[in-house]
Amino acid sequence: MDRLQDKIAVITGAATGIGQATAERFSEEGATVICADVDQDGMDRTVTQIRENGGNAEAYYLDVSDVESVQTFAKQVEEKYKKIDILFNNAGVDQEGGKVHEYPVELFDRIINVDLRGTFLASKFLIPLMLEEGGSIINTSSMSGQAADLDRSGYNAAKGGITNFTRAMAIDYAREGIRVNSISPGTIETPLVDKLAGSKNEEEGKEFREAQKWVTPMGRLGDPSEMASVALFLVSDDASYVTGEDITADGGLLAYTWPGKMLIDESWKKGTK
């Protein structure tokens, strides 16, 4: 406890999922959490939960893909807090779009604009609030930034870009005392997964989760709280010599080359929990 005492942390995409879980975890560790998202109701729920638990948090509307929105947000944060210690660029969207020749240009642009451009814009306008005292930045990438998915080339491109953008940022700011790392989650039980694959209560969602269970060596989807633990490590003093790294947290999915025997071995499928 208290690993982030008196730190000021900005988390984008804080309304649900990984962002929400991380906001709550950072608050438990003593940070003042600035929750930013386009989902006002979700942000309000996150902030209310933090405050009910005795923490300090505020909600701000932010569209990370819009330069004016990001500039306005950065100015608001500077006016109230003067500086920040932590930035978690977590906001992102995902959607299937078909093969590349079928992929809608507007969908490709939207995913790149929110996921990749949004990470750039939030970093560009909030890093100045770290330059004097240093700090830590985390970017949410994905296992889909390291390997590809069928019909999701826009998301693959965006997340692959974030992983390498993280390395560029780490080099740029290491001498300013700002560490920059990324997290590459596997399939995590979040509202985004519900939107993409169906909820636990829908037949399509059940089938998706069963498939993920047997193809993932650990036999289950990840929990947002587990990603929050990785984020906490990266922004804490425990990771004081870690920068430019991407931490994959996917239950072992990227540890093998292809499913192989897993496709035909019934004992493997039945061995999931």
Integer Cα distance of 60 and 91 in angstroms: 13
CB-CB contact of 178 with 158 (8 Å): no
Return the ∠ at Cα 127 (arms to 126 and 131), rounded to 5°.
130
Model confidence pLDDT, tens digit, residues 79-115: 999 999 999 999 999 999 999 999 999 999 999 999 9
Model confidence pLDDT, tens digit, residues 222-250: 999 999 999 999 999 999 999 999 999 99
Integer Cα distance of 228 and 224 in angstroms: 6
The residues spanned by each domain of the chain are: 8-192+223-261
Give the mean model confidence (pLDDT) for residues 137-166: 97
Q: Is 111 exposed, middle or buried (0-12, 13-18, 19+ CB in 10 A)?
A: buried
Give the mean model confidence (pLDDT) for residues 162-172: 98
Instruction: Tell me which of 155, 173, 241, 256 is the catalytic residue.
Output: 155
Give the mean model confidence (pLDDT) for residues 148-171: 97
Among 177-186, 191-200, 229-238, where is mean pLDDT lowest?
Answer: 191-200
Integer Cα distance of 107 and 156 in angstroms: 13
CATH 1.10.3210.10 assigned to domain 8-192+223-261? The reply is no
pLDDT at residue 273, rounded to an integer: 57
List b or e across 147-165, with b for residues whose CB sees 16 or more CB atoms inside 10 angstroms.
eeeeebbbbbbbbbbbbeb
How high does pLDDT run on average in the chain?
Answer: 94
Give the mean model confidence (pLDDT) for residues 170-190: 96
Give the mean model confidence (pLDDT) for residues 168-174: 98
Give the mean model confidence (pLDDT) for residues 114-121: 98
For residue 208, give every residue at least 6 positions away whose Cβ sits within 8 Å of its Cβ, in sequence order, or none: 193, 197, 198
> Which secondary structure element, helix H or strand E, spans residue 179, and what is its range?
strand 178-185
Model confidence pLDDT, tens digit, residues 1-19: 799 999 999 999 999 999 9
Do strands 246-249 and 135-140 pair parallel, antiparallel, or not at all (unpaired)?
unpaired
pLDDT at residue 209, rounded to an integer: 85
Residue 272 banded pLDDT, cuts 50, 70, 90: low
pLDDT at residue 154, rounded to an integer: 98
Nearest residue to 86 via CA among 186, 261, 236 = 236
pTM for the whole thing?
0.94
pLDDT at residue 142, rounded to an integer: 97
Among 16-20, 114-118, 188-192, where is mean pLDDT lowest?
Answer: 188-192
Helices and strands of the chain, counted as H and E runs = 10, 7
pLDDT at residue 213, rounded to an integer: 82
Q: Give residue 138's identity as a one-letter amino acid code.
A: I
Nearest residue to 215 via CA among 168, 142, 268, 173 = 268
pLDDT at residue 1, rounded to an integer: 73
Integer Cα distance of 28 and 123 in angstroms: 25
> Cα dist. 80→75, 77, 269 in Å?
9, 5, 53
Alpha helix ranges (H) inside 58-104 = 67-81
Alpha helix ranges (H) inside 127-223 = 153-173, 191-197, 203-215
pLDDT at residue 200, rounded to an integer: 76
103 is catalytic: no
CB-CB contact of 249 with 186 (8 Å): yes
pLDDT at 48 over 90: yes
User: Would you give the end-to-end CA distance of the chain in angstroms?
Assistant: 31
pLDDT at residue 257, rounded to an integer: 86
